[in-house]
Amino acid sequence: MLLAPTMASPWDPWDALATDYPHVCVRYTPHLPAHMLGATDGSTIWLATDQTSSERRCTLAHELIHIELGHYNCQPAHVEQAVEAEAARRLVPLGRLQAALAWTACETEAAEALDVDVATLRTRVAGLTEAERAQIDQSAA
User: How far apart (Å, rounded) are the C-alpha atoms in residues 102 and 96?
Assistant: 10
Three-state SS for 46?
strand
Give per-residue pLDDT as tens, 57-109: 999 999 999 999 999 988 999 999 999 999 999 999 999 999 999 999 999 99
Q: Which residues of 93-107 are buried (b: 16+ CB within 10 A; e: fewer)?
A: bbebbbbbbeebeee
Q: Which domains does the chain have, with CATH numbers?
A: 13-140 (3.30.2010)
Give per-residue pLDDT as tens, 21-43: 999 999 999 999 988 999 999 99
